[in-house]
């Protein structure tokens, strides 16, 4: 090649070093392709859901005054009794990995509308936000707007509401560090108990001003975390969205069923998992544990939910831990079907009576 002839593979046009540059670029390209292929392969390496299948609670059609819950991915859980309906978190947009890591995210009105419709929700009494990370809180204000719900959460969550233009009288700000807050919605009594997030250190801190989307996923700062006790004449549930705790915070509380957030739990050590169990499941005397926050929330809700890739969360370790702990303590380990309504307190076929 002559010195002035442009080399199609070179960024530098003509160069006396063209063959060396070309070799370098080819090697770099091969490395990028191989690296990308390796990451793509690793992102598809996921634990199997088969062990959960026999433990999935049966669908139970809605019935007046009977609580039903619906799992809508991550820790988005609809809880209703035909009279009142509550939604924990309310995350439907589930943006893809590229926009989460490199771009900006924003609530998708259409995905929220179709997610709510799939769950049979047209009207909500409250959206109860456990903490303000995007995979819990990003859509909460839009959900409240579409359903007429009161948005309940920390000051950070209220700043998500303000950024979405939700009026102050449609929000209830809950103190997230010391006080316990009780609220009543029909036959449901909800108690928000200050808790802690899994200690991964990502996007911690407070959202201090109204947050207007689109924003970076990491702009959705945690803003404090809650445990939620949901009491109903038919039974009591504890919803623990994030795998953290405050020592002794649940002492004296009672719940038959714990919806146990396991996101990131597989990356922690055995001692951490044991302490989480003894601070969240044991104090309330649960007879059933239902894991939540196990799915890969960079995939849309219309697609089958898949567990997090092994490289991002060690769900195998979590599953082994849960199997061992529930078997040792006689607690029923159950899973929720996607979207379908279930009776959280009802029998699971095949379970010990």
Q: Segment near Zn ion (CB under 5 A), from 88-96, 130-138, 163-171, 228-236?
A: 130-138
Pairwise CA distance, residues 230 & 234, whole Å: 11
Question: How do strand 235-240 and strand 257-261 relate by DSSP bridges?
Answer: parallel
CB atoms within 10 A of CB 274: 12
Pairwise CA distance, residues 275 & 205, whole Å: 24
Nearer to Zn ion, 74 or 121 (CB): 74
Nearer to Zn ion, 133 or 145 (CB): 133
Least gap, CB of 352 to Zn ion (angstroms): 34
Q: Where are the beta strands (DSSP E) in 122-224?
A: 126-128, 150-153, 171-173, 181-185, 188-195
Nearer to Zn ion, 25 or 246 (CB): 246
Is residue 196 part of the contact set for Zn ion (CB under 5 A)? no
Pairwise CA distance, residues 108 & 52, whole Å: 31
Least gap, CB of 133 to Zn ion (angstroms): 3
Nearer to Zn ion, 221 or 333 (CB): 221
Q: Segment near Zn ion (CB under 5 A), from 47-55, 133-141, 152-160, 251-259?
A: 133-141
Q: Segment near Zn ion (CB under 5 A), from 78-86, 128-136, 170-178, 254-262?
A: 128-136
Least gap, CB of 148 to Zn ion (angstroms): 27
Least gap, CB of 242 to Zn ion (angstroms): 5
Nearer to Zn ion, 208 or 324 (CB): 208
Least gap, CB of 99 to Zn ion (angstroms): 18
DSSP 87-149: EES-------HHHHHTS-B---HHHHHHHHHHTT-S--SEEE-S--SHHHHTTHHHHHHHHTP
Nearer to Zn ion, 89 or 108 (CB): 89
Q: Segment near Zn ion (CB under 5 A), from 110-118, 120-128, 132-140, 270-278?
A: 132-140
Taking each helix axis as running N to C, give the angle between helix 140-147 and helix 155-163, from 0 to 180 degrees, rounded to the nearest 10: 60
Least gap, CB of 75 to Zn ion (angstroms): 9
Q: Which residue is at the shortest CB distance from Zn ion?
A: 133
DSSP 250-267: TTT---SEEEEE-TTGGG
b/e per residue 194-207 (b: at least 16 CB within 10 A):
bbbbbeeeebeeeb
Task: Report residue 244: phi and psi, to 5°.
Answer: -135, 180
Site string for Zn ion, 260-279 (x = CB under 5 A): --------------------
CB neighbour list of residue 186: distance below 8 Å, 6 or more residues apart: 81, 83, 84, 125
Least gap, CB of 70 to Zn ion (angstroms): 21
Distance in angstroms between the alpha carbons of the first and the last residue of the chain: 81
Nearer to Zn ion, 133 or 232 (CB): 133
Residue-level length of the chain: 353
Nearer to Zn ion, 239 or 333 (CB): 239
Is residue 133 part of the contact set for Zn ion (CB under 5 A)? yes
Nearer to Zn ion, 67 or 194 (CB): 194
Least gap, CB of 136 to Zn ion (angstroms): 6
Pairwise CA distance, residues 248 & 271, whole Å: 17
Site for Zn ion in 287-316 (CB under 5 A): none
Site for Zn ion in 59-118 (CB under 5 A): none
Least gap, CB of 340 to Zn ion (angstroms): 26
Residues in contact with Zn ion by the rule CB under 5 A? 133
């Amino acid at each position: 090649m002559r010195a002035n002839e442009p080399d199609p593979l070179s960024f530098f046009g003509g160069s006396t070093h063209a063959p060396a540059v070309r070799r370098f670029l080819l090697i770099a390209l091969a490395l990028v392709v191989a690296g990308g292929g390796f990451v793509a392969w690793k992102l598809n390496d996921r634990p199997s859901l088969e062990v959960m299948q026999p433990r999935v609670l049966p669908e139970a059609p809605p019935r007046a005054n009977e609580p039903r819950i619906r799992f809508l991915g991550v820790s988005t859980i609809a809880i209703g009794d035909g009279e009142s309906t509550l939604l924990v978190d309310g995350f439907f947009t589930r943006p893809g990995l590229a926009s989460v890591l490199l771009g900006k995210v924003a609530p998708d009105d259409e995905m929220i509308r179709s997610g709510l419709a799939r769950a049979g929700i047209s009207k909500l009494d409250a959206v109860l936000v456990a903490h303000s990370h995007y995979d819990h809180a990003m859509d909460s204000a839009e959900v409240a707007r579409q359903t007429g719900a009161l948005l309940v959460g920390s000051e950070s969550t209220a700043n998500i509401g303000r950024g979405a233009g939700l009026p102050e009288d449609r929000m209830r700000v809950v103190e997230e560090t010391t006080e316990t807050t009780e609220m009543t919605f029909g036959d449901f009594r909800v108690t928000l108990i200050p808790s802690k997030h899994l200690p991964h250190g990502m996007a911690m801190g407070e959202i201090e001003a109204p947050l207007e989307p689109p924003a970076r996923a990491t702009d959705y700062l945690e803003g404090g975390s809650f445990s939620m006790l949901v009491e109903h004449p038919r039974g009591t549930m504890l919803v623990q969205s994030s795998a953290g705790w405050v020592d002794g915070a649940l002492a004296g509380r009672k719940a038959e069923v714990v919806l146990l957030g396991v996101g990131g739990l597989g990356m922690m050590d055995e001692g951490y998992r044991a302490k989480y169990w003894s601070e969240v499941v044991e104090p309330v005397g649960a007879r059933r544990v239902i894991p939540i926050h196990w799915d890969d929330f960079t995939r849309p809700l219309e697609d089958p939910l898949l567990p997090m890739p092994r490289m991002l969360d060690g769900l195998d370790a979590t599953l082994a831990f849960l199997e061992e702990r529930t078997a040792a303590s006689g607690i029923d380990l159950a899973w929720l079907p996607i979207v379908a309504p279930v009776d959280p307190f009802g029998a699971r076929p095949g379970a010990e009576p």
